[in-house]
Amino acid sequence: MIKTAVHAMGLAMLLGAATPALASEEHVVKMLNSGSDGQFMVFEPSYLKVEPGDTVRFIATDPAHNAQTIPEIWPEGAATFKGEMSKDVTLKVEKPGVYGVKCLPHYSMGMVALVVAGDPVNADQVEAYDPPSDVVRQRIDALTGKLRG
């Protein structure tokens, strides 16, 4: 009797666990003046692996940042986005590929992030990308290492 009840509960938990996996996920990225690794002007995390259908919410934890498309690193045909200064903004990821995100006022200071959805079909755009400064190059190189790894 007890054994049957436990078995039924286990099955219910399994079925329950299967349902949320089908739903899209919301990922959260903080916009910060100072990251937990000591770097200034960062998205945290600055590298995300997501699935097409997921959303990425950029949170204005610190003011005077925004999040918007880096046009040179963006899957073909995917809708671009541009958040307002000091405001949260949500990127809806609909196609597979690599999405480059920048904070406009701190772009040249290296405030960039890469969101990789499923297959990085446009990885060649990351290779061809010409960064606006050495700091951006260093940070993109570090993020690209994760893309390859």
In angstroms, what is the minimal distance from the CB of 67 to Cu ion? 9
Site for Cu ion contains 65 (CB under 5 A) = yes
In angstroms, what is the minimal distance from the CB of 89 to Cu ion? 13
Whether the upstream peptide bond of residue 45 has omega within 30° of 0, thus cis, is: yes
Q: Which stretch binds Cu ion (CB under 5 A): 10-18, 78-86, 110-118, 124-132?
A: 110-118
The residues near 82 (Cβ < 8 Å, ≥ 6 apart) are: 66, 68, 69, 89
Site for Cu ion contains 106 (CB under 5 A) = yes
Number of residues that bind Cu ion (CB under 5 A): 4
* Distance of alpha carbon 86 from alpha carbon 141, whole angstroms: 27
DSSP secondary structure letters along 49-78: EE-TT-EEEEE-SSSS---EE-TTSS-TTP
Output the residue with the shortest Cβ distance to Cu ion: 103
Site for Cu ion contains 102 (CB under 5 A) = no
- The contact set with Cu ion (CB under 5 A) reads 65, 103, 106, 111
